[in-house]
Structure 1
Amino acid sequence: MLRRISFRRAGTMPLSLSAFMPGLTADAIAVLLGATLIGGLVRGFTGFGFAMVFMPLASVVLGPVAALGLIWFIDLPFALPIAARSARRAEWSEILPLLLTATLALPAGIWLLTWLDRATMRWILALLVLAAVALMASGWRYHGRPGVALSLGVGALSGLCNGMASIGGMPLAVFWLGAQRNDRHKTRANMQAFFGVSTLIGGAILWWKGILTPSGLAMAVPLFAIYGAGLWAGTHGFRLASEASFRRGAYLLIFLSALSSLPLWDGLLGR
């Protein structure tokens, strides 16, 4: 069942939207629309980051479990074609070890998601994202070619984060964005190829766990176009941006999303 939140100033939304998202206020629907657009912009711009933007904000409105299912439905029609286009440029010798341990760790992350209470999960989610952004923005760099042990460890952490909050790209972003030897084009190709395969694997496990529901699919329908517009704008922005702008833009948007989702502000914002 979707968890809903009541805002102090609830307005009305057009029937075309409210019919897909029954029981949500106008403000709550606006949060989902904004999170989808900004998340798509970041995803198109960097090759990762949709969940890092979307999940903290959507969890405020729906709760982490329902938000996890919703993000899978939204991203699926886009992740697979993007992955197919990136497959030839990706370094599969790096990707396959990551996929192996990510798949093995994914059920553990889902178990934590369903076991922990909603407030605790929101704190964990927001703080994990903020910590990742701080690490990436600090200028940390990984030197050399990653070994098997490191790749397996990063993959396991990615699978755990993916199961908890669909933010499996966060460890990969720290890992690949920090690698000095990889340029931004290689980084995007690796991430997009990884996400395409992991989306299929993750979807099977989420369906088995009962997290993918018809109500989640219905809610995703009006968000597809919003996400696609964000992806298109982000992709074109990526082509025009410098390396420094590429990194700063991604860090800033992800940071603001996680910061605004902290339960610390619930009383102030009336949510």
Structure 2
Amino acid sequence: MVRRISFPPVETMPYSLSSFMPGLTSEATAVLLGATLLGGLVRGFTGFGFAMVFMPLASMVLGPVAALGLIWFIDLPFALPIAARSARRAEWAEILPLLLTATLALPVGVWLLTWLDRATMRWILALLVLAAVALMASGWRYHGRPSVPLSLGVGGLSGLCNGMASIGGMPLAVFWLGAQRNDRHKTRANMQTFFGLSTLVSGTVLWWKGILTLGALVMAVPLFAIYGAGLWAGTHGYRLASEQTFRRGAYLLIFLSALFSLPLWDGLLGR
């Protein structure tokens, strides 16, 4: 005798998007979904920039601390395989000094994140991103190979920004995109390799500080597919785009995300 198994109607299924994101309004959920998709698009297109898009927007609805834990879980399953594929083309002589000082500065950034109030962190985050975009878009370039002190300094700044808001790629983008000798393929390989390694390091520190929570993991579950779709679309767009389009598209998306996230607009937008 075959036993018939009945399923509840779709509208009464126990799991929905709100089940993974309890306490968030539909508008806040839409912001997270849009930020994830746009961030994945930029990340796939340029090799960096997910956090520069996602963090300012996610911080509006979650606060910087919760957003930092969420972004780590979202990016982890993608950052490690991408880094493994990029490692063969990366310049390890440049990556290792950066990674060393980034690791040392990371706990200081996490301390600042938990010490500063939410509004102050939102201002700092948005203004740092806007300043970085302005510098990159200005066309500034430096010549020759980067010196060891410069690499160590950029690595320290990257670790500080990574601990504060998971935007450790921002100083690296200025550093590598500003190198006239680097083409976009080498830039992507360097950044993707660095991100994979720094993800493992930052995960240890964030877990120790209690920022990687079960709630953040649950919230990340429905965002994995959206982020993956953005990465796929961005990667295919990168293969078709020119060098000029590659840079301008990334700058525009990052700039608009940071501009929209400024606390200046909270009253006007009812946030």
- How big is each residue's C-alpha offset from its partner over 1:188-219, in whole Å with a ceiling of 9 and x where there is no partner? 00000000000000001000000000000000
Taking the aligned partners of 2:202 and 2:162, their CA distance within structure 1 comes to 8
**Matched residue SS, 2:167:** coil
Partner residue, 2:172:
172
Partner residue, 1:26:
26
- 2:165 is equivalent to residue 151 of structure 1: no
Taking the aligned partners of 1:101 and 1:57, their CA distance within structure 2 comes to 28
Partner residue, 1:265:
265
Cα deviation for residue 244 of structure 1 reads 0.2
Partner residue, 2:104:
104
Partner residue, 1:243:
243
Partner residue, 1:10:
none
Taking the aligned partners of 1:84 and 1:48, their CA distance within structure 2 comes to 16
Partner residue, 1:40:
40
Cα deviation for residue 142 of structure 1 reads 1.3
> Percent identical across equivalent pairs?
90
**Matched residue SS, 1:167:** coil
**Matched residue SS, 2:172:** helix
**Matched residue SS, 1:19:** helix
Amino acid at match of 2:71: I
Amino acid at match of 2:229: A
TM-score, reference length from structure 2 = 0.95
Partner residue, 1:205:
205
Cα deviation for residue 15 of structure 1 reads 5.3
Partner residue, 2:188:
188
Amino acid at match of 1:98: L
- How big is each residue's C-alpha offset from its partner over 1:8-56, in whole Å with a ceiling of 9 and x where there is no partner? xxxxxx9510000001000000000000000000000000000000000
Partner residue, 2:135:
135
Amino acid at match of 1:64: P
- How big is each residue's C-alpha offset from its partner over 1:51-102, in whole Å with a ceiling of 9 and x where there is no partner? 0000000000000000000000000000000000000000000000000000
Taking the aligned partners of 2:214 and 2:257, their CA distance within structure 1 comes to 27
Taking the aligned partners of 1:214 and 1:15, their CA distance within structure 2 comes to 17
**Matched residue SS, 1:198:** helix
TM-score, reference length from structure 1 = 0.95
RMSD of aligned C-alpha atoms? 0.8
Amino acid at match of 1:122: R
- Structure with the greater alpha carbon radius of gyration: 2
Partner residue, 2:214:
214
Taking the aligned partners of 1:92 and 1:165, their CA distance within structure 2 comes to 25
Amino acid at match of 2:130: L
Runs of 4+ in 1 over 2 A off after TM superposition: none
- Structure 2: give runs of 5+ residues left out of the alignment: 1-13
- Structure 1: give runs of 5+ residues left out of the alignment: 1-13
Amino acid at match of 1:168: G
- How big is each residue's C-alpha offset from its partner over 1:223-261, in whole Å with a ceiling of 9 and x where there is no partner? 000000000000000000000000000000000000000
Amino acid at match of 2:196: G
Taking the aligned partners of 1:103 and 1:38, their CA distance within structure 2 comes to 28
